[in-house]
Amino acid sequence: MTAAGNALVQLESPAKAQAILVLGGDDFGTRIIRGAQLAEARFAPVVLVSTQPTPLSAGCDCQRSVNYARRNGYSDSLFQSVETPSWVDSTRSEAIFFRKYLRTRGIRDILIVTSNFHTGRAAYLWRQEAAGMHFVMIAAPDPFFTPETWWKTRNGQRTFLLEWSKTLAARLGD
């Protein structure tokens, strides 16, 4: 069971980069906090926060994440919101969008922060869609998923099964 959980996770050590990119889809704040920690440790000068505009509120959904980081002692100046277009609705489309966005800004060396269970699939899709860029996948902890114990809770089981189904879909070309 642990091996099946570990197969989802790609553990890499952070290295100096031009930017840190926090992928969207985090409801717990672990991704934004991990990105802020890396910036404070001077791995990169800025944390780019992937976001989509929210139609029911002013601003973007990333403001919630940045506010959470601020409440946890991190400066707003670490973060830069990057509003993604409406067609960015998956990890693959996020990689396609950010490949173009980063290249136009001369950024080819990034740390990508996402949830631990998501690192393997995200790395696979970024290798496909962002060839020529150098990235390091950084795992943020997830409150429901640890490779060593995921099967012991309903939320861990749900996270495991959903991520494996998305991983298989990505391999099939989703």
The pLDDT tens digits for 68-80 are: 888 999 999 999 9
- What is the predicted pLDDT for the residue at 137? 97
Print burial letters for 68-91: b (CB count within 10 Å at least 16), e (below 16). bbeeeebeeebbebbebeeebeeb
Measured between alpha carbons, how far is 15 from 163 in angstroms, rounded to an integer?
26
The pLDDT tens digits for 42-62 are: 999 999 998 866 555 555 566
- What is the predicted pLDDT for the residue at 25? 83
- What is the predicted pLDDT for the residue at 52? 66
Measured between alpha carbons, how far is 99 from 105 in angstroms, rounded to an integer?
10
Residues of the chain with pLDDT under 50: none
- What CATH superfamily is the domain 10-145? HUPs (3.40.50.620)
- What is the predicted pLDDT for the residue at 84? 86
Domain residue ranges of the chain, discontinuous segments joined by +: 10-145
